[in-house]
Amino acid sequence: MASDEVEGTSPLPHADEHITLIGLGAIGVSFLALHLTYSSATVSVYDPRPDLEEHIQAVLPLYLPSSVDVASLISVGRLNLCASLEEACLAATIVQEQGPENVGFKQKTWSEVIRYVAPTCHLWSSTSGIPASKQLEHLSTTDDKHLEYPPTTDDIQASSARQRLLIVHPFNPPHIMPLLELVPSPHTTPAEVSFAKSYFTALRSGHRPITIHRESAGFVANRLSFILFREACHLVNEGVASAEEIDEVVRASLGPRWAMAGPFKMYGFGGGNKGLRGFLDNIGESIGEVWRDAGTITMDDDAWKDKVVEQTTQAYGLPSAEDIRVRDGGLRAVVKAQEEQERVARHGGGQGGQ
């Protein structure tokens, strides 16, 4: 996140937690580095890939502060590479999964996990799109508010798991982007949401957990992004501007704007001393015209896809390691600018206004 250095004097939090990470792809390794760097929790990891140890040795150091040695973490028992899901779960106080994005995998994983872990274990999924309620809907058809008497062991286990599972959705690249969307299902208890929020806040990694009140496709960030992306693809398809030109437009306008304040706060500025109401009164007609005129391309149609892929690849080529390095350096600078902005907003002064 914002800094590779761990805060000086205060001890790292969560010494009593034992986190089990399931699935060590890009998101999994990024979370692994986060827990290892900013907490003192014990971490166990499980991934069925046969080269798990080599993979962790190769990729994890890219996300860790240079002072931290992976082999030492393993030898002191801070990091445990496990050969089975059961072994990984045995001591878990938190299980966080970031495995393949399909419902079948999630459901099968949770069915096993809840047999292995204590009934108080926190259950987190870092899926980018499969709601918590869907990940457990296979477990039992009995609504946990109306358990039959006497309830079966399976019913009790399912009901308890439903109350403990929530989504912890990061934003790519997760080691830099501050967002963590916490999305409970209708069954998740408020205590579980609070626990996840306080867990990530205590890390002081710069991550910002934000609770989403209801499940919906794409949660919030991806949902807004996909909807803007649809219109961007429509504009390319109609020849209004090229993919590269649209990227430049966004980078020169909406990106900086929304890095500093979201749409509601910014449009509140747009209405002057009448705030957002003034903005809607003044510009509402133009906004309505755009809404009526919005593109309606669908994923079933390949013509626009070929066009946007061709233009994007022609403009940038395929992403290189150097491209990612430049992107990440830039993202860090913007997050740092946000932190400075917050400091100025809290304490005033320091930054030239004009």
Which parts of 105-134 interact with its own copies (CB under 8 A)?
128-129
Closest approach, Cβ 142 to its own copies, in A, equals 27
**Which of 106, 231, 126, 214 minimizes the C-alpha distance to 171?**
126
Instruction: Scan residues 166-225 and list those touching its own copies (CB under 8 A).
Output: 171-172, 175, 177-179, 181, 208, 210-214, 216-218, 220-225
CA distance 279 to 292: 19
In the bound state with its own copies, the residue whose beta carbon lies nearer, of 62 and 118, is 62
Sites for its own copies among residues 264-323 (CB under 8 A): 264-265, 267-270, 272-277, 280, 283-291, 293-294, 298-300, 305, 308-309, 311-313, 315-316, 318-319, 322-323
Least Å from the CB of residue 159 to its own copies: 25
The Cα–Cα gap between 52 and 38 comes to 23
**Smallest separation (angstroms) from its own copies to the CB of 57:** 17
Cβ 56 vs Cβ 45: under 8 Å? yes
Stretch that binds its own copies, among 69-77, 80-88, 91-99, 226-234 (CB under 8 A): 226-234
Binding mask 14-53 for its own copies (x = CB under 8 A): ----------------------------------------
Q: How many helices (H) and strands (E) does the chain have?
A: 15, 8
Name every residue whose Cβ is closer than 8 Å to that of residue 197 and which is 6 or more positions away in sequence: 182, 209, 211
- Counting residues that bind its own copies (by CB under 8 A) gives 125
Rg (CA), the chain: 23
Helix, strand, coil percentages, rounded to 5, for the chain: 50, 10, 40
- Phi, psi for 15 (deg, rounded to 5): -60, -25
Q: Which one of 96, 201, 229, 303 is in contact with its own copies (CB under 8 A)?
A: 229
Q: Between 157 and 341, name the residue whose CB sits nearer to its own copies.
A: 341
Q: For residues 156 and 266, which CB has a smaller minimum distance to its own copies in the complex?
A: 266
Edge-first strand order for the sheet with 165-170 is: 79-81, 42-46, 18-22, 94-97, 122-125, 165-170, 179-184, 208-211
Minimum distance from residue 127 beta carbon to its own copies (Å)? 10
Comparing CB distances to its own copies, the nearer of 160 and 282 is 282
In the complex, the smallest distance separating the C-beta of residue 204 from its own copies, rounded to whole angstroms, is 15
Stretch (H or E) spanning 293: helix 275-293
Shorter beta-carbon distance to its own copies: residue 85 or 235: 235
Residue closer to its own copies, measured from CB, 161 or 335: 335
Question: Cα separation of 278 and 289, whole Å?
Answer: 18
Shortest spacing between CB 7 and its own copies, in angstroms: 18
* Peptide bond between residue 174 and the one before it cis (omega within 30 degrees of 0): no
CB of 47 to its own copies, least distance (A): 18
For residue 119 the two structure tokens come to 């009934």
Please give the C-alpha separations between residue 148 and each of 143, 145, 154, 162, in angstroms, as whole numbers: 9, 10, 12, 17
**90 near its own copies, rule: CB under 8 A:** no
Whole-number minimum distance, CB 90 to its own copies, in Å?
33
Quick one: 78 or 307, whose CB is closer to its own copies? Answer: 307
Q: Shortest Cβ distance from residue 254 to its own copies (Å)?
A: 6
